Amino acid sequence: MPNTDPSGAPFPVQLSEEQWRERLSDSEYHVLRRAGTEPPFSGEYTDDKTEGVYSCRACGAELFRSDDKFDSHCGWPSFFTPLAGDSVVEIEDRSLGMTRTEVRCATCGSHLGHVFAGEGYDTPTDLRYCINSVSLKRE
């Protein structure tokens, strides 16, 4: 996984792959550091309604608030906006034969999920940040 954001600036938290492997479980490493995806409807936060702040499981940076979470019924936790505009970075993703927008933690560069626009959800932004539960920790 690249150690720089789309502008080429280094992410503030830089660890070696060995350090990431020591810090994260196998499933966390697969999603956060290898841009994997957890199976739909399997994550601990998919249907969670508890109030709090969702942070990056890899580095602890605050990413999303429960107030911005909504039921999209897509199989992963969905948010209509990040905590602050600079808490995540969005990167064009051309994998799987399509163009999507990948969402990464702006602090450590870990993969969180993807953001989709124009799907018609009744949210203030008409965005769906589709985020892997394993990428998050609610506090």
Active site residues: 130
Amino acid identity of 67? D
Q: Any idea what DSSP says for residue 24?
A: S
d(CA 32, CA 17) in angstroms, rounded, equals: 12
* 8 A C-beta contact, residue 53 and residue 62: yes
d(CA 36, CA 48) in angstroms, rounded, equals: 22
d(CA 51, CA 17) in angstroms, rounded, equals: 33
Give the contacts of 16 (CB within 8 A, at least 6 positions apart).
none
